[in-house]
Amino acid sequence: MKETLHSLTADAEGERLDRFLGRTLADHSRVHLQKIIQEGLVLVNGSLLLKPSHRLKRGDAVTARIPPPESSEVEPEAIPLRIVFENVDVLVIDKPAGMVVHPAAGHKRGTLVGAVLAHAPEVKGVGEIERPGIVHRLDKDTSGLILVAKNSKAQRFLQEAFAGRRAEKTYLALVAGRPPTAEGRIETLIGRDPSHRKRMAVVPSSRGREAVTLFHTRERFAHSTLLEVHPLTGRTHQIRVHLAYIGCPVVGDAVYGKRRPPSHSPQIPSRFGGSMEGGRQMLHAWKLKIALPGEDAPREFEAPLPDDFQTLLDRLRDLEKS
Catalytic residues: 139
Report the greatest alpha carbon distance in the chain: 79
Give Cα 195 to chain centroid, integer Å. 19
Rg of the chain over Cα atoms, rounded to whole angstroms, equals 24
Q: Which amino acid is at 283?
A: L
Contact 288/145 with Cβ under 8 angstroms? Answer: yes
CA distance 115 to 193: 33
Write the secondary structure of the chain as one string of H (helix), E (strand) and C (coil). Answer: CCCEEEEEECCCCCCEHHHHHHHHCCCCCHHHHHHHHHCCCEEECCEECCCCCCECCCCCEEEEEECCCCCCCCCCCCCCCCEEEECCCEEEEEECCCCCCCCECCECCCCHHHHHHHHCHHHCCCCCCCCCCECCCCCCCCEEEEEEECCHHHHHHHHHHHHCCCCEEEEEEEEECCCCCCEEEEEEEEEEECCEEEEEEECCCCCCEEEEEEEEEEEECCCEEEEEEEECCCCCCHHHHHHHHCCCCECCCCCCCCCCCCCCCCCCCHHHCCCCCCCCCCEEEEEEEECCCCCCCCEEEECCCCHHHHHHHHHHHHHHHC
End-to-end alpha-carbon separation of the chain, Å?
Answer: 67
